[in-house]
Amino acid sequence: MLRDLDLVNHTAHEIQLLMSKANFFAQQVQDPVIRHLLQDAARMHQRHLATLSTTRGQLQQQLGGAQPSLQQLSGPGGGPIGARWTP
């Protein structure tokens, strides 16, 4: 369950980055069609973040609402679980 929460947090971070990039590029382009497409992409990422936020809340409820300890977030080698994550 902690692994699932870690993956949701990792994915949320990546989507936040994509949303920021889409917004940044939308402000830079001159073509209104491209600007609109980039703004649409940013809104899509925002919706995905909202979905992940709901999922995160559900996972935290299943874990008893408690934040995992540092030891729980560490894998068998002592490193963070997210550091071992590969797609």
The structure's pTM equals 0.67
Report pLDDT for 4. 87
**Regions in the chain scoring below 50 on pLDDT:** 68-87
Cβ neighbours for 39, distance < 8 A, ≥ 6 positions apart: 22, 23, 26
Q: Where are the domains of the chain?
A: 2-64
Which pLDDT belongs to residue 46?
96
List pLDDT tens digits, range 24-39. Answer: 999 999 999 999 999 9
* pLDDT value for 78: 41
- The whole-number pLDDT of residue 31 equals 97
Sign of the torsion angle spanned by Cα atoms 48, 50, 53, 59 = negative
SS3 75: coil
